[in-house]
Amino acid sequence: MNEPGKLFRKLRQDRHLTLQQVADEHNSISFISKFENGDSHIGFTRLIHLLGKINFSAEEFLYLLGKDSTLATKSSFLIGNPIFLSANFMTPLVTLMRDLDSSRQRYEKNPAKTMMYFNQKILELENSGTADWHHLLAILYQVQAELLKNDIDTNQPQMTDKRFSQVRIMMRPIISYLYNIENWSSFELLLFGISHYAMPLATVHQLERIAIKRTSINETFPIMPLVQGGLLFGLFSTYINFRKLDWARQTLHHLQELVAQREDSNYAILLRFYQGWFEYINSDGKQGIDKMQDAIDILHILHEPKMAAMLVQFVKLIKQNQKTPGKSMLFIM
């Protein structure tokens, strides 16, 4: 499919969006209809804006537009490399990730200031546009505020905490959105990765299978293995912390397939560590430590001291968690 209008129409319809829902003062219903039918050309700035209305990046759109007529380029990336996308949602999403990561510490120091900041971010998102991503990210700020105000610890089994019921109600639009998208882009993968901590574990497991199936359309997009791998590593950590060992094993299998397809040595190193992590928990601390140490040693050889030091700290937490399940949990986002 090498006609941009036809591709856009397919992506829009895959997201169950009407022309009325994506039209605005920049692109009218009439113009979008003509563009989709090949009767009108579109400028790049207007195209990026239009793609933002369906939560799709320009990079992925251009990749899908040309993938049938160009050869895929093999890519190799370093562990922990940043992801750069031109989509409007990227900066607010990264800001949200950082805010979630530091929110509990900030709340303990100054609850009122933290809540004021969260309310400000919610208002900014809700008032800054009509695309779905504004509302979805605002919900995650609301969810985190609810968790902090009610002292709900997501490191404890969610289904047994009655206070978590309100959070699950708040999460319904995000869960519904993810179920409804018929082909996932990097936005859906990243959204799932940063929001799954507030979902019931059974829902997380169902969405994992959907995520794998519905990213097949652009699985050879160069950054997609990085996004997919980051999501799967994060889901594995959640499963194993709550001792969902069968699910953790399945996720490791998906990661093995990803590494085999992409032949990326950096992910292979991390996979070795995670295999050791699984074996250590599954064997009550009798096995797996050698594989985790192998990964650390290889990183030292490759002159990756920061990553090696991080994994050393991971091993300490994993050992503590094995002895006292429910404590010293290690979650990867």
Residue 79 has pLDDT above 50, yes or no: no
Residue 222 has pLDDT above 80, yes or no: no
- Neighbouring CB atoms inside 10 A of 72's CB total 10
Q: Yes or no: say if 136 and 177 are a contact pair by the CB < 8 Å rule.
A: yes
- Which pLDDT belongs to residue 73? 35
> What is the signed CA dihedral for 140, 170, 247, 183, rounded to 10 degrees?
-70
Top-confidence residue, 188 or 164: 188
Residue 327 has pLDDT above 90, yes or no: no
CA-CA distance, 325 to 280, in Å (whole number)?
Answer: 13
On the CB side of 309, CA atoms within 13 Å amount to 4
Residue 162 pLDDT level (bands cut at 50, 70, 90) = low
- Which pLDDT belongs to residue 154? 55
On the CB side of 223, CA atoms within 13 Å amount to 17
Top-confidence residue, 64 or 271: 271
CA-CA distance, 245 to 267, in Å (whole number)?
Answer: 21
**Domain ranges in the chain?**
4-54
pLDDT digits (tens, 9 = 90+) for 83-125: 667 678 888 898 999 999 899 899 999 999 999 999 999 999 9
Residue 72 pLDDT level (bands cut at 50, 70, 90) = very low
Instruction: Please compute the mean of the pLDDT values over residues 206-233 and round it to a whole number.
Output: 85
- Which pLDDT belongs to residue 81? 57
> What is the signed CA dihedral for 232, 217, 43, 88, rounded to 10 degrees?
-20
Residue 63 has pLDDT above 90, yes or no: no
pLDDT digits (tens, 9 = 90+) for 115-143: 999 999 999 999 987 788 999 999 999 99
- Which pLDDT belongs to residue 326? 77
- Which pLDDT belongs to residue 295? 96
